[in-house]
């Protein structure tokens, strides 16, 4: 079965690469630490952040990749980790669908890096024969996250109540953007 490329080199020093397990722990942990106040309003997992949680996250990446359930990348700029993005399939995602999730450290936002990253992940998703559409899901209050799929060519597909834990700034209503293999 096909999987996305392990390294995607974009332009101007931007690249995506598979995580390298324990070797990425010090840098990823530091980037999260430096981004906590930026991430806390929107990412429920931040409440449990710690070195062991980061270690667990990294330890699980290879298995997720091999099972084809989740392809997680370090977003790098000039070789330094500036964020995380992933292409994944939730348990309740119908066949043919994948979702993209992402975050960047505060100093890397506002420059179009994540829009370029999402476009690259969409291209990789559509290289996989079983993917017919890609979605981005975000809380409607998170306007910055919503700007990314809008710029990357997605269209609003629907809104729905969020399930699971909410981060402090979340409204509890998700907006789902969709891009199909054959456009919009």
Is 166 contained in some domain? yes
Specify the pLDDT at position 163. Answer: 87
Domain count, the chain: 1
Specify the pLDDT at position 184. Answer: 53
Specify the pLDDT at position 95. Answer: 83
Specify the pLDDT at position 182. Answer: 81
Is 49 contained in some domain? yes
What domain range is 22 assigned to? 7-180
Decide if pLDDT at 2 tops 90. Answer: no
80-88: strand order across its sheet: 7-9, 14-18, 70-77, 80-88, 97-104, 133-139, 173-180, 155-161
Smallest CA-to-CA distance from 117 within 157, 71, 164 is with 71
CATH number at residue 165: 3.40.630.30
Is 92 contained in some domain? yes
Specify the pLDDT at position 94. Answer: 76
Q: What is the pLDDT of residues 11-54, one digit of tens each?
A: 999 999 999 999 999 999 999 999 999 999 999 999 999 999 99
Smallest CA-to-CA distance from 140 within 164, 176, 105, 116 is with 176
Strands (E), the chain: 7-9, 14-18, 70-77, 80-88, 97-104, 133-139, 155-161, 173-180
Distance CA 68, CA 71 (A): 7
Decide if pLDDT at 183 tops 70. Answer: no
Q: What is the pLDDT of residues 101-142, one digit of tens each?
A: 999 999 999 999 999 999 999 999 999 999 999 999 999 999
Is 1 contained in some domain? no
Q: What is the DSSP letter of 106?
A: G
SS3 category, 175: strand
Is 2 contained in some domain? no
Stronger pLDDT, 92 or 139, i.e. the higher one: 139
Residues 83 and 106: beta-carbon distance below 8 Å: no
Is 67 contained in some domain? yes
* Arithmetic mean of pLDDT, 162-181: 93
Decide if pLDDT at 74 tops 70. Answer: yes
Note the pTM of the prediction, 2 decimals.
0.94
Specify the pLDDT at position 1. Answer: 64
* Arithmetic mean of pLDDT, 171-183: 92
Share of the chain above pLDDT 90, in %: 88
**Cβ within 8 Å of residue 110, ≥6 positions away:** none
């Amino acid at each position: 079965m096909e999987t996305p490329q392990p390294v995607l080199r974009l332009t101007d020093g931007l690249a995506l690469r598979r995580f390298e397990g324990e070797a990425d722990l010090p840098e990823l942990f530091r980037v999260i630490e430096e981004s906590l106040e930026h991430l806390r309003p929107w990412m429920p997992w931040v409440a449990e952040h710690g070195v062991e949680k980061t270690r667990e996250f990294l330890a699980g990446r290879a298995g997720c990749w091999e099972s084809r359930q989740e392809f997680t990348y370090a977003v790098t700029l000039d070789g330094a980790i500036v964020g995380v993005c992933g292409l994944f399939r939730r348990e309740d995602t119908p066949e043919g669908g994948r979702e993209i999730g992402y975050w960047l450290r505060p100093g890397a936002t506002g420059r179009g890096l994540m829009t370029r990253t999402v476009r690259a992940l969409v291209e990789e998703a559509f290289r996989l024969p079983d993917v017919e559409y890609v979605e981005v899901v975000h809380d409607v209050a998170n306007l910055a996250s919503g700007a990314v799929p809008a710029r990357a060519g997605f269209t609003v597909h629907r809104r729905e109540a969020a399930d699971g834990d909410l981060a402090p700034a979340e409204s509890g209503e998700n907006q789902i953007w969709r891009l199909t293999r054959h456009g919009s």
